[in-house]
Structure 1
Amino acid sequence: MSQIPEPKMFPDIQSLATTDINDNPLAIALYQTIEYAPIGIAIFNQNMQYLAVSQKWLEIYKLTQDIIGKSHYDIFPDIPEKWRQIHQQCLAGANAQNNADCFPRADGLEEWVNWSIRPWHLATGEVGGIMIFTENITQRKQTELSLQRNEERYRSLITATCQIVWILPPDGLVINDIPAWREFTGQTLEEILGSGWLDAVHPDDRLLTAQAWEKAVKNKNLFEIECRIRRYDGEYFYWLTRSVPVLEADGSIREWIGVQTNIQDRKQTEEDLRESNTLLRSILNSTPDYIVVKDVQGRYVTLNSNAANFMGRAVEEIIGKNDFELMPLEVARKYTIQDQQIITTGINTTDEEYLCSADGRINGTFRTTKTPWQDTNGNILGVIALASDISDRKQTEEYLRESNTLLRSILESTPDFIVVKDCQGRHVALNSNLANLIGKPIEDIIGKVDTEILPLDFGQKIMAQDRHIMTTGNTKTFEEDISSGDINGTFLTTKAPWRDHQGNIIGLIGITRNISDRKQAEFALAQAKEAAEAASHAKSEFLANMSHELRTPLNGILGYAQILQRSKHLNEDERSRIDVIYQCGSHLLTLINDILDLSKIEAQKVELMTSDFHFPAFLQGVAEMCRIRAELKSIQFQYQFASELPIGIRADEKRLRQVLINLLSNAIKFTDAGQVTFTISYASGGKIRFQVRDTGVGIAQEKLQAIFQPFEQVGDRRRQTEGTGLGLAISQRIVELMDSAIHVQSEIGVGSIFWFDVYLPEAQEWVKTSQSDDFGQIIGIKDRKPKILVVDDKWENRSVIYNLLTPIGFAVTEANDGAEGWQKIAEFQPDLVITDLLMPELDGFELIHRIRQSEAFKHIIIIVSSASVFESDQHRSIEAGGNDFLPKPVQAIALFQKLRQFLNLEWLYEEQSPENQSVAHQNEFILPPQTEIETLYELVMKGNFKGIIKQAALISQIDPKYLPFAKRLQQLAQEFQDQEILALIHPQQ
C-alpha cells in the first residue's frame, strides 16, 4: 500500500463535515477519493465516531453506509482491549501499523488485514481524530498458508521417506544448494558444486556412478543406480538414486529432477537374509539329523547334506523330484502316504521306525518327526520331516538297563548305607543295607521322608542336614555318633547334591559307613602314637638337657688344657700330651654337637639364624675346602656356579655350609675314581638349586630312604669308620627348616646325585667382617686392671675363667649363684660380668634383669656363658639384656676377643726371642706336624674359624719355629679367608 500523506496537507476535516459539500469542490473530491479508494479507509473523530468511510471498508467489514456518526465501539462491541489501547495511543498523536493482522468482522468471521493508523489534525494543530487505512489480504494470506502447508507436507514427506530431492540443469552439474545432501554428507556448498558431490560416493562406486550419470545426461535417459554414500561421520550407507529429465516441447532437457532414497535398511535386510540363509544351510548341514522339506505335490524343496548322503545323491539332483523318482516303489508309497496324512490333518507325528535308503536297505533305527509346513496365514504348503538316528541311543538304553542292574548289584554288595532323596526329602532309592538298618522293607521306605520312618527328633535332624546340602549345593563329609532306637555307633557320612544334566539340584545322595571299629582302632593308635611322641620328646629333651652336664666337665677339661698350653714350664713331651687331651676333648665335643644337633631339631628348638653374606665367596670357600680332600684321593673336583646368581644372599650361613660340606664330604668319601661335581644354578620358581654329583659306588634303591635316618650308614663297612651316621639326617632336617628337602638319585656302580632347591632372598648389602689383630702371647693389659665378676654354680667353670684371666692382669672375683652375684656387684662394682644361665636360688636371666633395672649398674657389660645348646636360650639371654654369648666349653681366644671388644683393651704381648724373630722373618712358613695339619683341615671343612684361631694359638706354643705360620693362620681365620688357609696348610696344592 502506498505511503499516506501527512495529515497537515488536508484541510480541517471537521470543518468539511459541517460544510455543505456542494459548496466545496475540495470536499467533493476528498469524499469521492475516500469512497472509491481501493483500500478500506475510515475517518474517526476524538470520540471514535465515523466521519467518513470508503466502499472498500464497508466491503471488508460487511457494513452499511448508515454507520456515519456512529461509534466504532458500538458497531464492534467485542473489539479487543488491545485495539482500544492502540486507538487511544494514536488519538494522542502516535502512528501504528501492522502488515498482517487477524480482525473480526461484524458477521463474526475473521479477516486478515494490512492496516495503518494515523492521527489527523485540526487547523489549530490539535488531533481531531484518527484515520484507519485497511487492505484485505485474507485471500493472499490463505494462499500463503496453503503454500506453507504444502511445503511443510512436502518436506515431511521427503523426511519421512528418507529421501533427498534435487533439481539440476540440463548439463547435470550442481549449481544450486542441495541442503538435504549437505546435511547427510557434511559437504559444504562449494564442495558439491559441479561434480564435487561425487567425492562423497564410495571410492569403489565412484567411477561407475560418474559414468552412468554421464551416459544418462548424454542420452537423456532415466538414471538409476545403487551406490554407497559417505555420511558426515565417515560411515557409508547405500542409497538408490533415480533421476528423470524434464523435456521441453522441442525435446531438449529443461532440467533433471532426482530423488535419492536411503536403502541401507533394505541392503542390510538383504545381507541379513543372505547370512540367515547361509546360517540356516550351515545349521542344516551341521546337524547329525536328516532334514527334508517337501511341497504338497511331494516334491523336494530343500534338504540337508546328511539327508542327501543317506539317499545317495547330490542335493541338486534331489530338489524338484518326488520319492517315486528317487526310491523303490514300496518305500516311496510308504513315505507318500505318511506325508499326505500330515498335509490332510495338519497334525504332527513322531515315530520310531526303520528307514530305508534309496536302494531299499534298512539303515538303523530312527526317530522321525513330521510337521506341516505352513505360511504366515496358516495355509499348508507341504511337509517338514526330521529324522534322528537313534541306533546308538537304543543301544545306550540297553547298556543303561544293564548298568542299572549292575549298579543295583553293587549297591547291594557294598557294606555302606546308600540313599537317594528328592528335593522334598522323599526317598527315591536306597540299598537293602540301609533298609535293614532302619528296620523296614525298601518298598515301605520309598516315597517317605525321614520323620515318617525314624524317631521324630532324629528324622528332623537328618532332614535339616539334607536341606542345608541342597540349599548350599556343597558336598559335606562328617562324622557323628548316633544313638537312636536300634541305630547305634559312629558313622562317617558324605552327602552331595543330586543334579540333573543341566546342573539343577533335584535332590541329594548320601553314603554312610559304620566306622565304630575303625574309630576304636584309631583311638588306640593315637594313644600309642602319643606315647611314642612323648618318649621321643623325652629322649630329645634328655639329650638336650644332658648337653649341659656333658659340656660342664668338658669345659673344665678343655679349659685347663688351654691354660696348660699357655704355660711356659712344659717340655715338648708334656705339651704334646696336653695337645692330645685337648684334641680328644674337641673331638668328643664335635660328636656331642652332632648328636645334640639332631636332638635339638627333633625337639623343635632349632631356629635358622639368617644374615647377609657374599654368596660367591661363600661357595668358593666351600668348594676349595672340598677340592683338597678330593685331590688327595686323585679325584677330579668340578665347581660350577651360574653367572646370573645373586652376589649377596640372606641365609643361615653356618647351617647352609654344614649341609653342603656334609653332601660334598660324603660324595668324596664314597668315590674312588672319576669326579665330584658341585653345581649351583637357578631352579623353577626363583629358587636356587644346590647339586652334588659323584661317580662313586652308588646306593641301592631300597636303601635310598634309609640314608636319611639317624645313625644309618649304608654301603661298604670299611667306609663307615668315620662319623656318627647323623650327617645326612641332620642335613635333611636343616633343609626342611628351609622349606625344602634333599632329593637323591643313585645307581650302583654309576654314582649318585644329591640336590635341594631353596629360596634365598637376594641381599643388597652384605658385610664380610674382619677382626685382624697382631698375634702373640698375651702377658698383660696396658695401663688397666679390669674387674671381672664370674657368676656360675660350678666351681670348675669359674676356675677356668679365673685361671685364664688373672695371670694376664684381670681382677677376678667369683659368685656361686645369681643372688651372690647381685651382692658382689654392689661390693665389687665390676667392669664386666660373665654369668651362667641355669643356677639355683637366682638364675642368670633374673640376674641380668636386676642389673638392667638398676640405675647404678645398668651399664655394666654382661657376657652370658652357658652350656645350653638351644638357640632360644641364647636369644633370650640377649633379649634379656646380655651383650654377647660365650658358649661352653670356653675357648680362650674367643674369651680374649670379647673382653678386648667390650672393654676396649690393648694387650701386652710377650717379646719374641732373637731366634723367634729370625724365624718370623723367613720367607717360607714352616708347617707344623701332619696331625696338626689334619686337625686344621677338618676345622676348615666345617667352617670353624674360631677353632682355627684356637688351634693357631696351640701351634704357636709347640715350637717357636711355627710362630710365623700360627700368626698368619690366625690372621687369615679372623678374616674368614678359607681359600688362603687351605693354600697355607697345603702349599704344594
Structure 2
Amino acid sequence: MPYSRYISQLDLNNTGMIFKVKKVGDSFIHTMCEGELLYRVGLTPNDVIGKEVYDFYPEDIAKTKTHFFEKAWAGEFLQYETFLNGVYYLTTIRPMFEQGKVVELIATSINISDKKIQEEEIRQREIMYRSVVTNMTEAILILDNNRKITILNDNVEKLTGLKSGLLDEATAAKFGITFFTEDGSMLEYSDWPGVVTIKTGKPVLNVIASIRLNGKQRWFRLNSNPLNITGEMTALVSFFEITTEKEQEMELRESYAFQKTLLDNLESGVVATDHQGKITLINKKIHRMLGLEKEIDFYIGNYAKQFYKLWKEKTNTTRIEFESLPIKDREKITKEIETGNGHTFQTSYIPFNMQDKFSGNIFQFIDITERKKMETALTTAKEEAERANMAKSDFLAKMSHELRTPLNGVLGFAQLLEMDASLTEEQADFIQEIISGGRHLLHLIDDVLDLSRIDSGKFKLKLDIIDFNSVLNECIKSFHPLAMSKNITLRKKMDECSKVFVQADPIRLKQVIFNLLTNAIKYNRTDGEVSVSMQTLSDKLVVHITDTGIGIPHEEFENIFQPFHRIDGTGEQGAGIGLSLVKQLTGLMGGNVGVSSVVGKGSDFWFELNIKPQGDFDTERAPVKNTKSELTNSAHKQILYIEDNESNILLLDRVLASDPSFSLIVGRSGREGLKIASEQKTDIILLDLNLPDMNGDEVFDSLKNNKKIAGVPIIALSANAMPYDIKKTTQKGFTDYVTKPIDINKLLNLLKKLHS
C-alpha cells in the first residue's frame, strides 16, 4: 500500500496520534508526528520530528520504545502500551517494506486512559461486592458460566451445606440437595434459577422451592439475576428460608391454585374485573409491565380506573375506560395504549359472560415497546442512510474537484512540454511518464466515483444498439503503443463476429474493455501476448481477453471482482477497483463477467452482452447542433477567460500562444469578467464555475442578460466532473462543458470549431 494512501486511511479513522520513524545508523529518527494525543502527553511536533526517543522521553520509556522499534524494523507487526504524563495509550507499529526490506515504520497511538480507569473501577466494585455479599442476611452465592460457585456467604453453608466449587447434579446429590416445586414435583437441575440465568442471561425471580434435609422439608424463596461485571455471564443467586410462612400459606394457596397457575404461565399481562369494574384477578406480568408499586394483593377489590394515571396524556390511542365498557354483545376489541414511562402495549378487551349474563371484563396486555422502537429505528435508519448517501455524494464531488484542479496544472503543462520539438529523447520520455501517471490518477478518480455512484443507486446508463467491433477497434488501437512499449503482441481474432450489434452504453463498454486490456498488459510478461476473441452463443456475445501473464490462483477468482481487493505478490501496484467496476458495469448492461486462469501461464477474462438484431440499429443520427452562435468571420478571435487560479490562467495563456488566431484576456473574478465582457470585444468566453465572488450560474445569467454579448458562446471550464454537474450546466444553456484536467488537443479543436 502506498504510504500516502495508508496515512490518509489513518486520518479518516480519527486515530489519536500518527508518527513515522526511519533508522539512521543505530538511531531511530522521527520523520513525522501529529495528532491530538501528542499534545495530550505534553509534546508538540517540533519536540519529536527529527529526533530519537531519548531526546524527549524519560530514559525508561525511551529504552522500551527503542526495543519495540528494533523488533518492528526486523519486520514484526506489534503493539505496546505506554503511560506518560497521566495518559495511557496503545501504539501499533507497522513496518513498511520496499523490495523486501523495511524502509520505514508507520505507527498509530490511541488513548486508552478511559479503559484503564474502567478496569480499576471494576476491581473496586468487585471488592465492594464481595463485602456486601458476605454481610447480607440472605444466603448469597455467585454461579459462573462453568456452573462453579465462585463466591458465597456463610448463610449458604448454614442452610444447605454447600461450599465453593462445582455445583452440578452430582455435587447436589452429595450434599443431599433436591429441589421440589410447590406442587411436589422435583425441580430439574436445568431449571434451577441460577442455571437458567446462566443459559438465558435473564433473571429468574421469586422461585419458591423446598429442600429435603435430614428428613425435613424446608422452604425457600429464590432469586437469580444475571451479572456481567467482567464480560462473563454469571448468576447472583439469593435465597432465604420461608418454611414457617409457607406452612401457614399452603391451605390458602390451594383455594386459588388454578388461577395462579394460569396467570403465572401467561406471557402477557392480565387484569380481570367484575361487572362494577373492580379488580378480581391480576397477574405478575402486568404488575411488572405497569411498574405497580404495591403488591398484587393490594389491587384486588379496587377499581381498575386507578390505572388511568399511568396512561400517557393526549395519547393518539384510545384510552381504555374500564368501567364504561358495555355488555355481553360487545366483541373483542384490540387497541394500543402508551404509558407515561414510554411503554406501548397492545391491549385486548374481552367481555366475560356467565349464563348469558354480563359478569365482567378481561383485559390482556402485550408489551410491544421494542417492536415500536424497531419500527421507529428502521424509519430513522432509512432517513440516515439517505442523508449519508447525500453526504457521500457531496464529499466525492468536492474531492473530485480538489484532485482535478491540481491535475489540470500537471497534465496541462506536461502536454505543452510534449509539444516542444526541441526536447531530447530522454526529456520526451520523462514527459510521457508524467502524462501517463497523471492520466492513470485521473482514471482512478473516475473509477472510484463510478463505484460510489453505483453503490448509492445514482449511476445512470445510456443504453443504445451499437456496433461492437467499432468500439473494440477503437480500444485496441489506443493500446497498441502501450503493448509495443512492453514488447507485447496484441492480437484480435474476429471469427464469425465481424459484424455484431449489442445493447450497451458505448462509453461504459469502452471502460470495461479498457480495464481488461490494461490488466492483460500490466500483469503480462515481457514478449508476451494478449489476444481478443469473440463468439456468439444464442443471443449473447461472449468476448475473451486472454493473456500470457502471471495467472491468478483459483481461490481468488471471486475475490478479484470485489472492490479494493488486491492479490499479494503480483509485483504490481493497483487500487483493486478496475475489475469490480467491470463486474458492476457489465451487470448493469445486462451481461456477466468471469475468469479462468492457470498460475504462471496466464488468464482468460470474458464478458458477455446481449446481441440485438442489426435491423434494430438506428443509423440515422440527429444533426449536430450548430454551436457557432453569432461569431464574426474575422480571422482573429478574442477569448475571455474568467478564472481566479493563476496556474490555470498561465496554462491557457501558453496553450493559446501557439495559435495566432486567438488572443486571451483574463477576468480574475466574476465581476471583473462581466466588466471586461461589457467593455471589450469578446468572441468566446471560457468560464470557471467556482469563482471567489460569484458562482458560475450567476455569471452565466448576467452574461446572457447583456444583449451586447448574449450570443457569444460560453464554455464551462470546471473541475466538477460529476454527471449531474455536467447535465445541469449543459441544460442551463452553456455551449459546451470541458472538465479539468483539460485535454489540450480537444480544447483547441473545440475552439477552432467555434472559430470556423
Give the TM-score normalised by structure 2: 0.45
Bigger helix fraction: 1
**Max Rg structure:** 1
Give the TM-score normalised by structure 1: 0.36
